[in-house]
Chains A and B, each alone.
Chain A
Amino acid sequence: MTSTVLFYLLSVVSIVFALGVLFNPNPIFSALYLVLTMIGMSLMFFNLEAYFIGGVQLIVYAGAVTVLFVMVLMLFDLKKEKQAFTKGLFSSLLKYFSAGALLFMISGASLMSMGLMTEGAEKAEPITTKQLAALLFTDYFFAFEVLGIILLVVAIGAVTISRIRGGTHAK
């Protein structure tokens, strides 16, 4: 009962914050709304009794990734970039295309997940952290390693770009 009420409350709050990310004209307010959305997501995990994932969501997304977003946005004055992204045929095409693709993916995902929850179904046992780790290092070992390599490539790429003379603004 309590968890159902909390679920709807948290969903509404998270959706409102997510819309705030989209519709706020000020990039810094958008980023702060993103933080609140991430915290809302983590609370959803806590509500679903997936405590470990909720905690990791807090550490990684709310605590580290979005801090970087907010920090970088505060460092720059983003008037020119905002203008550059609002005008132009190519960028508007890109925008419409990506919005359409996202909409397609979201509707597909929600269509596919309908009917998964049946009435009166037994509640699954919450997975402990040890079971999670065992799964990660046995069944999903390949995916785990590939993700690690992708992250390594991204890190090397970032260092390489920053070492070019003039940084990202090199001509």
Chain B
Amino acid sequence: MGSDIFEISVNAVKIVALFLLMVQIVPLLVWVERRGSAFIQNRFGPNRVGPLGLTQLLADAVKFIFKEEFIPEKGRAFIFYAAPVVALLPATLAFVSLPLSAPVNVETFEMFGQSWGPYTFQFQGFDFGLGIVYVLGVSSLATYSMLMAGWSSSNKFSLFGGLRASAQMISYELALGLSIVGILILYGTFDFKTMIAAQQGALSFHFFGEMVTIPFLPNWGIFYQPLGAVLFLVAVFAESNRLPFDLPEAESELVAGYHTEYGGMKFNMFFIGEYGHMLVASALMAIFYFGGYNIPFVTPEQLSGFLEGFGYVGTTNSLMTSFLLHLCMFLKILFFLWVFIWVRWTLPRFRYDQLMDLGWKTMLPWALANTIITAIVVFVMRM
């Protein structure tokens, strides 16, 4: 956690702040989803409570908290209560390990009559040096919450929802894992920060021993891995159970799927978990294929030098650079969150056999081909 009390407390506050960032963005996203869906379907959406209907969220939160507690008569109470908690955990653990901006360098300063040494604070909760392996490992546990919720409700629609969810997530986890192998080969690392550092500046690559630079395109992963990016986007849609892959909660067939018997705050925790998965998926999409926290064509060093021109030096300079880069990262994340909402209200749901065919017979072979071709190309180009 750190060497002295200042570093430990900053790191602890940082983890709490990142968790709150994830949880507090959910009501806003719900508002965007409802207003956005209304906009897409030529309706108004919630517009009565407060300015632009924004305080509707507060009313919803109060309603969620004061709803009646309910457990199905033949349900298993412990698992029934545990499932929403398990739904929230994987997304949280994954999101906190993502780097959302460049590290902040704090120089030596005086406080409480004591000198506090130079620190470097990462803009992420913790870092094992594992990067994507850790994120994949943690988010693969999300299936259990749906299985537990479906089974403990002792309701056949809930059980169907849970079983569908697990089958779908296992199937698409393969395609998800394989679709990013290409980008891992390209950057030669699991670590997010190294990947982001490799995407600075304008598009430039080795082409049979010569450096080719295309000055009008940023050096983003999507230009090297377009197929991988498409496969990854589709797979994360399936992993976060959003339309067109929301068969676990297909309301026309299964009432509401695995959370049929849930109400109030317990239901809301499933909701937060789903939005948390969207957030993690959007951040991963930005990190892998859209340059992470890099501002296009501008390296963090250039930005820091630019700020120095305005007289900001030392700690202030580092803080402002980090903040601006974080803003850029968050704009990218918000764009992909909007894509999630946009697709949900545009595409119809798959049939179950179509879903399985797409996962196993289309995406898996394409992802394998992408991996092999990337490996060959990287090997030949770097000779």
Contacts and interface: CB of A to CB of B under 8 A. Distances in A.
Interface of A: 28, 32, 35, 39, 42, 46, 51-52, 54-59, 62-64, 67-68, 70-71, 74-75, 129
A58 B163 contact: no
A74 B163 contact: yes
B143 A74 contact: no
A137 B272 CA distance: 42
A68 B170 contact: yes
Given A67-B166, A75-B163, A51 B129 contact: yes
Contacts of B147: 67, 70-71, 74
> Per DSSP, are chain B's interface residues mostly helix, strand or loop, or mixed?
helix
Contacts of A74: 147, 150-151, 159, 162-163
Interface string B124-163: 0000111001101110110110011011000000010011
Given A68-B170, A74-B151, A52 B163 contact: no
B170 A67 contact: yes
Interface of B: 79, 128-130, 133-134, 136-138, 140-141, 143-144, 147-148, 150-151, 159, 162-163, 166-167, 169-170, 173, 177, 190
13 contacts: A55-B133, A55-B134, A56-B137, A58-B140, A59-B137, A59-B177, A62-B137, A63-B173, A64-B140, A64-B170, A68-B170, A70-B144, A70-B166
Contacts of B129: 51
Contact of A59 (B136, B163, B169): B136
Contacts of A39: 141
B170 A59 contact: no
A125 to B, nearest CB: 14
Given A71-B166, A74-B163, A129-B190, 8 more contacts: A42-B137, A52-B130, A59-B133, A63-B136, A67-B147, A70-B166, A74-B162, A75-B163
B148 A32 contact: yes
B143 A58 contact: no
Contacts of B130: 51-52, 55
Given A52-B133, A70-B144, A70-B147, A58 B138 contact: yes
A62 B162 CA distance: 17
A62 B129 CA distance: 21
Nearest to A73: B151
A75 B150 CA distance: 12
Contacts of A64: 140, 170, 173
Nearest to A75: B163
B144 A67 contact: yes
Nearest to A46: B128
B141 A63 contact: yes
A52 B128 CA distance: 9
Nearest to A68: B170
Contacts of A63: 136-137, 140-141, 143, 173
B140 A62 contact: yes
A51 B159 CA distance: 35
